[in-house]
Structure formats: structure tokens, C-alpha cells
């Protein structure tokens, strides 16, 4: 029952998002993200729908660890996506140590969120999407990306797809979109990279169909 009501509530919100042919929207970024985040201080969303935002400060040594993942620079887009996913996982670990959000309650059985019950340390898919966008935006603006741009968030959910969800998106130069969705794994683990079309197609996604860069397995 909770799943049904949660789905209906989120569908109402999704219906208010600006329509985009690829199911991309800046709706939650406009509400919760900082337009110009910096490693020295940025906002971390948690508590479900950014109910309890925290200020996070990374030391220069921490940000150098992020840089190290991209050294040497990737020679192709697939390798760069692997680097980005690894860097997002490192950021989750660094941030979680400050905010107490390291232990997540995501249920892997059905890829659904358990009731929050007022726990400010827990994250839903909106928190995860906004935070991942923030991490990747800081990386891109620091010159770490050669083959990608950070896109608006992806959203899905409809009367025929009763699994409302949100995720951060990379646009490969040339127009292919990929989702990096930490909601699909435990906190601090490297999240799967999926083509946006596969993420939109069904839930939970068939992770075994793709490699760590989101390329189809032969």
C-alpha cells in the first residue's frame, strides 16, 4: 500500500516537470541543487527529498583523491564513464563520513525505498540524483571530463510504469545519454552505468545486459 501511495504522489510531482523527449528535467535541481557547487563547500541532500540538507567541506587532499581517479585522462568515453562512476562512489564515502549518511536502507529485492520514518540520514532517489549531479558538476567544472557533459536529471514513472524514479545523467559528446544511479547499489559502491533508454525501459533494470561503462555485453 505504501508503495502505491508513494508512487501516486511522485507521479503528481513528475507530471509537473518540464517535458523533454528524453525524460530529462531540471525540476529537482531548481528546487534543491546549488547552481555553483565547489568542493570547499557544497550542499548534500538527505532525509528524503532534501528534507535535511547539510553543508559539506572537502579538504584539498580529499579532492586530490578524486582527481587521481582521472589520472591519466581517459582515452575514450567508455573509460571516462568508468572513472566518473568510481569518483562518485568515492565522493559518497567522503561525504558520508561527514554527514552520517554512509549506511543506506535501499532494498535490493525490488529496488524500492523503505519507509523513512523520520531518519535524516537516509536518502531517496531524489537525494541520490541531486547529490550525484552535484558531484559530477564539480568534476566537470574542474576540467576532469573530456568526453561528457552533465545533463539534467532523468525521471520516469507513469500509470503504466508505477515505479517513479530519478537519476543523474551524463551526455556523451554526440548526444548519447547515460544514467549513473547509486540507488541501485549500497552506499559507496561503484554505481552501474546504464544507457538512459535502458533505465527508462523497465524497473528494475537488467544490469547484466551492460558492462561497467553502460555498453551492451556481447
Question: What tens digit of pLDDT does each residue of 114-164 get?
Answer: 777 888 999 999 999 999 999 999 999 999 999 999 999 999 987 777 888
pLDDT at residue 1, rounded to an integer = 32
* pTM as predicted: 0.89
Q: What is the rounded distance in angstroms from the CA atom of residue 23 to the CA atom of residue 196? A: 9
Structure letter (DSSP) for residue 210: B
Three-class secondary structure of residue 8 per DSSP:
helix
Q: What is the rounded distance in angstroms from the CA atom of residue 81 to the CA atom of residue 47? A: 28
Amino acid at each position: 500500500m505504501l508503495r502505491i501511495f508513494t508512487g501516486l504522489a511522485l507521479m503528481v510531482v513528475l507530471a509537473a516537470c518540464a517535458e523533454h523527449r528524453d525524460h530529462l528535467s531540471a525540476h529537482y535541481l531548481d528546487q534543491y541543487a546549488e547552481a555553483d557547487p565547489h568542493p570547499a563547500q557544497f550542499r548534500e541532500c538527505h532525509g528524503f527529498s532534501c528534507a535535511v540538507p547539510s553543508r559539506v567541506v572537502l579538504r584539498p587532499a580529499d579532492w586530490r583523491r578524486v582527481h587521481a581517479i582521472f589520472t591519466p585522462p581517459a582515452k575514450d568515453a567508455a573509460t571516462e564513464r568508468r572513472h566518473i562512476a568510481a569518483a562518485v562512489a568515492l565522493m559518497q564515502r567522503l561525504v558520508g563520513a561527514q554527514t552520517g549518511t554512509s549506511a543506506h536502507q535501499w532494498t535490493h529485492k525490488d529496488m524500492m525505498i523503505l519507509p523513512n520514518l523520520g531518519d535524516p540520514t537516509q536518502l531517496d532517489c531524489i537525494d541520490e540524483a541531486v547529490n550525484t549531479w552535484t558531484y559530477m558538476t564539480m568534476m566537470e567544472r574542474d576540467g576532469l571530463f573530456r568526453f561528457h557533459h552533465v545533463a539534467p536529471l532523468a525521471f520516469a514513472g507513469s500509470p503504466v510504469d508505477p515505479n517513479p524514479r530519478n537519476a543523474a545523467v551524463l551526455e556523451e559528446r554526440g548526444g548519447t545519454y547515460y544514467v549513473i544511479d547509486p540507488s541501485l547499489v549500497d552506499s559507496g559502491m561503484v554505481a552501474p552505468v546504464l544507457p538512459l533508454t535502458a533505465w527508462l525501459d523497465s524497473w528494475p533494470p537488467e544490469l547484466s545486459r551492460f558492462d561497467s561503462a553502460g555498453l551492451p555485453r556481447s
